[in-house]
Chain A
Amino acid sequence: MFFQEATPDTSGYMIAGYAIAFIVMAIYVASIYLRSRNLHQDMTMLEELDKSAQPVVEARQPKKSPAKSTSNNKSAKPVTKRSRKK
C-alpha cells in the first residue's frame, strides 16, 4: 500500500474507528448513569426502611415505668464503678 502513488481510500476504517470510540464511551457513560440511578433508588428505599423500622424497634423495647424503676433502685444515684467497688 505504501508504494501506491494515489492516496488509498481508507475512510471506511476511519469511520469504523470513530464509531467504536464513540459507542464505547457512550456505553460507559450510560453505565455510570444507570448504576448511579439504581444506587439512588436503593438509597431511597433503604432510608424508608430505616425510618419505618425505627418506631417498631422502639415499640419492641420494654418501657420501664417510673414507679417500678424507683421501687427497684433504692437510691436514685447512677451506678458507677466507684459505687460498685463500695
Chain B
Amino acid sequence: MESKPLALKILDIVSIIILGISTYLALVFAPTELVMGDVQRVFYFHIGTAWTALLGFILAAVFSVVYLITKDLKWDRLQVAAIEVSLVFFLITIALGSIWARPAWNTWWTWDPRLTTAAVTELIYIAYFMLRQGIDEPEKRARFGAVYALVGGLSAPITFFAIRLFRTIHPVVIGGTNPAADGGFSMTADMRVAFFFALFTFTVIFIDLFWNRIRLGDLQEKVEQLKLKVTL
C-alpha cells in the first residue's frame, strides 16, 4: 500500500490551518458592512470558492486538449480530479450567493445572467459525470469526457464575464462598476486583507484536494488493472 507523500501531508495540515485563519479574518477581523450587515461576510468564501472552481474548469479544459493530443489516460485522471473538486467548490459558491441574495435582493434566486450562467455551468459538469458513468470502455470514456470538458470549459469564462457583458443586478466588486447592480460595496483595507487571504486559502485547499483526488484516481486505475489480471 502506497503511503501519502510527506509534502501532501504537510499541505493537508497547512490547508486546515489557513482555513481557520481565513475564517477568523472573515468573521472577526473584517469590519461589518454597514448596509448589509454580517451577511456580507459570506462574500469572502463566495469569491474564494468561485475563483478556484472556475480556474479548475479551465484547467480541466487544458487537460482535455493534452489528453486528445497525447491519448495518455493520466491526463484524463487529472481532468476528472479538476472537475470534481471544482464542482464541489462551485456548489458552495452558488449556495453562498443564494444565502446572500435573500436579505440583499429579497429573494433566494433570480434568473439574472450571472446566476443563470453559474447554474448552467454547475449542471454541465454534473452531466459530465453522468456521461462518464454511461461509458464502460476507458479510452472511449476518456475521449468523450475530454471533448465534453473542452466544450464545457467555455462556460467558465462566460460565467465570469456575464456581469461585465450583460445588464445584471449582480454586483461587480472587483475591477469594475455596474450601475444596475444591487448590493455592491467598496472594500476597506481590512476587508481587502480578508478577501485576498480567502483567495489564497481556497487556492491552497484546491491544490490539496486536487492532489488527493489525483491519488484516488491513480488508485482506482491500479484496482481496475488488478481486477483484470485476477479475472483473466
Contacts and interface: CB of A to CB of B under 8 A. Distances in A.
Given A24-B95, A32-B212, A8 B37 contact: yes
B41 interface: yes
Contacts of B92: 20-21, 24-25
B96 A39 contact: no
A7 interface: yes
A14 B42 contact: yes
Interface residues of A, number: 31
Main secondary structure of the interface of A (DSSP, over half): helix
A67 interface: no
B213 interface: yes
Given A49-B230, A50-B229, A13 B100 contact: yes
Contacts of B46: 17
B1 A40 contact: yes
Interface string B180-209: 000000000000000000000000010001
Interface in A41-76: 42-44, 46-47, 49-50, 53
B99 interface: yes
Interface residues of B, number: 42
Interface in B1-38: 1, 23, 27, 32-38
A17 B219 contact: no
Interface string A1-20: 11000011111011011101
Interface stretch (B61-69, B122-130, B154-162, B220-228): B220-228
A37 to B, nearest CB: 10
Q: Which 10 A-B pairs have the closest CB atoms?
A: A10-B39, A17-B42, A10-B37, A14-B38, A11-B38, A13-B39, A46-B226, A17-B99, A39-B219, A10-B103
Given A8-B103, A14-B38, A24-B88, 14 more contacts: A1-B106, A7-B34, A13-B99, A14-B42, A21-B49, A29-B209, A32-B209, A32-B213, A36-B216, A36-B219, A39-B216, A39-B223, A43-B223, A44-B1
